[in-house]
Structure 1
Amino acid sequence: MNERILLMRLKHKSERALTEVIERYTAYVTTIIREILNDKATAEDVEELVADTFIALWTTAERIDYIHYSSLKAYIGMIARNKAKDFLRTHKNINLELYDDVLVIDDGVEKKILQKEQQQYIKDLLNRLKPEDRKIFLLYYYQYIKIDEIASIMQMNPQTVKTRLRRGRETLRILLSDEENIAYEDKD
């Protein structure tokens, strides 16, 4: 059964479709959650998050626009990734390091090498931000600290933190654009 049909059947609350999805994607979901949590959770936590992923799929199935989400695997991967990050958020003493933020698409060696290269590329881009802006960016996006808390840590106004986050995103967007332009010129 193809993914689009599975999505339609899930939308109509087919338990048989859910069973097939669980059988087909349990290993994939488990891999994503383990990659994100690394050694920051027990095996029981991972199992619970896997189950929570499929429960979330089931409870939101009627809202899925199966025409736009033709890839069930990508949709489930997104749910799994969010569940793992939510786990990290609720366990305040656990931080997601920059190199832990990986969405596993494939278990192939080539894919993992590409992911590591992308992580290094992101690290290099972040290192080009002003130190204070980089710290705010990492606190917000990788340690899940709220803006008010960052403002307290950095001894800034919360609006200043928001402005620096916005400017940081814009700077990264410009850096990415410049990199793309250089790569494009190199091809000529």
Structure 2
Amino acid sequence: MDGNKKINRNDKDVWFEEIMDQYGDRLTKLCYNYTKDWNLAEDVVQEVFISCYKEYENLDRIVSFQAWIFRITINRCKDLLKSSFFKRVLINSSLLAMAKTPEPTPEMATLQTSEEALLSECVMALPIKYREVITLYYYEELSVEEISVILKMNGNTIKTRLNRARQKLKVLLERRR
């Protein structure tokens, strides 16, 4: 198995806890980049872990566990974004309107002044096809080859998207400073 550390496959429950520890935060952040809703991202990750638990017996058939779990997560996020529930309930909800009020809370005002918050905000403003490659390349520190496997795209397409994403980020950062 790939990833940051070797995971014990001998005991299903131990294995499950270890993958939750190793991938939980990373997958939740990845989901958040798609959904822009932390609670929804946590729900998607929970579904992904349920899928992992069900696939325990088939682990030997999975060539790259990390690529596999990222692919499942990305697919679940994309399915959610396509669903009528997401479009109807979340996009049109009054909660979204409240989140876009002109007066930020003191905590949000502090976060907005930091460079990291500005960069995160700009990354989140990118179209999804650029946001996903930026997230996987810079935040997950995956190689172009690994990203191409996860997204099932040609490596040159990934490189092109990374370059375009960097250009768009540069423009966004310059506008917001």
Pick the TM interval, shorter chain. Answer: 0.3 to 0.5
